[in-house]
Amino acid sequence: MNRATKSAAEKGIARRSDRAGAPATVSTSNGGSRVDAHRAHADVRHRRSWARIGRGGRLPRPRVGTTLAAGAGVLASLSPGLLPRTSGAQAILTGLLVAMALGVTGVVRFVLRRKGFDTDAQFAAYRGPLLALTVVLIVAAVAQAGHWQNGLRAAMGTPPIGPGYWVRCGVGAALLAGLGLGLARSVGRVLRRLGAARGVAVTVAAAVLGGAIVAPTVAEWRCGVYAAANATVDPTVTPPVASGRSGTAASAVSWTSLGSQGRRFVADGPDGPIRVYVGLESAPDLEARVALALAELERSGGFRRGNIVVTVPTGSGWIDADAAAGFTERFGDDVALVGLQYSFAPSWATFVFGREEATASARALFTAIERRLAGSARPPRLFVYGQSLGALGGSALFTDDADQDRRTCAALWAGPPAGDVHHGRATILANSSDPVVHWSPSLLWRAPDLDDVRVDAPIPAWLPVLSFVQTTADLLSALDAPTGHGHRYGTDQGTSMGDC
């Protein structure tokens, strides 16, 4: 660094012994605080170390906090998960965790320096050994993570990963972490220039603006996107012609009002089994939709079949085609499947913002069918089925296990979130690799209850906090697994249903 360009802060700092590595007593020529001078001196030394690279010096060792943060973020991201992960997904997780750890470290460093404690000076002698230890741990963690990933892939019948996986992951994680760190530093510089009072004011104003305007605008936009997807008619889905289906010319439910998922449900499968579906747009309110569903069962002859399955859809109105095929395999043509749409948003959004709608819809439909069958001399057997959010909604319409067993012939819950459903005589299908079954806020501090899961892949040991992070990341790819793994269930959703 040219002496003519030295800052005023650097000129006011008393020399200290670099060999000792400990902070010396400092003073400032302009009357500034000891803490500001101390920080300025540390920053100058950090800049000098990087400047020596251009003059043939050796590569500087990162700060103690930087090494700890980067190492902790990488190691946390490589802890065992439930599902195979693409290199891109792993890079995103690693990059985000490293960026977050570096951000926390920066805040801690700032607070300690305000109190006159410089970790970089106090622990300067440990920079090299700490860096070497961190590198060794990361290499070992990569090897273990590769072994774990290939174990999951072998159990699920997918190709193993190779060295290229880790190259792509490393590059992507470095870019993402660097971007996050650069953004954080930019925001920090702006706030420092504004000063404490104005910085707090700007932060509060931004939070209020985001909560009052940005968040509602984004939510409204996403609702519009979901509604448009629900209304879009797929030209490859052909309207049914069998009288036992909703959406036909003889049906009181129009084809377009069924919604995207409802149209797929009634158009799929052989003509023999009856499939009744009522979409959100089929009637103005829940009571009217329930009445329409009963009228459709009457018209199609559903009440004359030997078995009725109340199928509670997921948040978007989806009923798994494999489940419907399983019921056909189980009952043949002697079955009527009936579903009632309660939302067009994805299950995660409905779970967070409208979970009670699933329960209210399932309860209204089931109760109405139950009352209709009460006056029959030989009523059909009544079953209930739900997957994911549909399992929660279907189970919640009963008060307890005994109420469920008394009012149904049998029930089947597939992939119930956190296993939070009534048991009794119900059949529970829960893959051990399904993050939906594992995920719960309590996963932060206690292991999940896996008594009802079927082991389809290696199960990672529970680790406080880390298991929550990994399971949350796995939720994004829960439906990308092969059938029988993750949040994908097959025809056994119908064939495994219990009996009276």
pLDDT for 450 equals 92
pLDDT for 111 equals 80
Positions of the chain with pLDDT lower than 50, given as ranges:
1-35, 38, 49-56
Q: What is the DSSP letter of 82?
A: S
pLDDT for 223 equals 75
* All structural domains of the chain with their residue ranges: 3-196, 232-431+484-495
Contacts with 498 (C-beta within 8 Å, 6 or more apart), sequence order: 409, 410, 411, 412, 425, 426, 427
pLDDT for 153 equals 97
pLDDT for 50 equals 45
Closest CA to 340 of 409, 272, 386: 386
pLDDT for 211 equals 66
Query: Mind listing the pLDDT tens digit for each residue in 364-398?
Result: 999 999 999 998 889 999 999 999 999 999 999 99
pLDDT for 167 equals 95
pLDDT for 106 equals 80
Helices H / strands E in the chain, number of each = 19, 6
Alpha-carbon distance of 443 to 376, in angstroms, equals: 47
Alpha-carbon distance of 63 to 110, in angstroms, equals: 13
Alpha-carbon distance of 136 to 94, in angstroms, equals: 17
Helix %, strand %, coil % of the chain (to 5): 55, 5, 35
pLDDT for 21 equals 41
pLDDT for 82 equals 97
Query: Mind listing the pLDDT tens digit for each residue in 151-190?
Result: 999 999 999 999 999 999 999 999 998 888 787 777 767 7
CATH (residue range 232-431+484-495): 3.40.50
Alpha-carbon distance of 162 to 150, in angstroms, equals: 9
DSSP of 358-423, one letter per residue?
A: HHHHHHHHHHHHHHHHHT-SSPPEEEEEEETHHHHHHHHTSSSHHHHHHH-SEEEEES-GGG-S--
At 314, which helix (H) or strand (E)? none
Structure tokens at 388: 């994911």
- Contact assessment for residue 41 and residue 13, using Cβ atoms and an 8 Å cutoff: yes
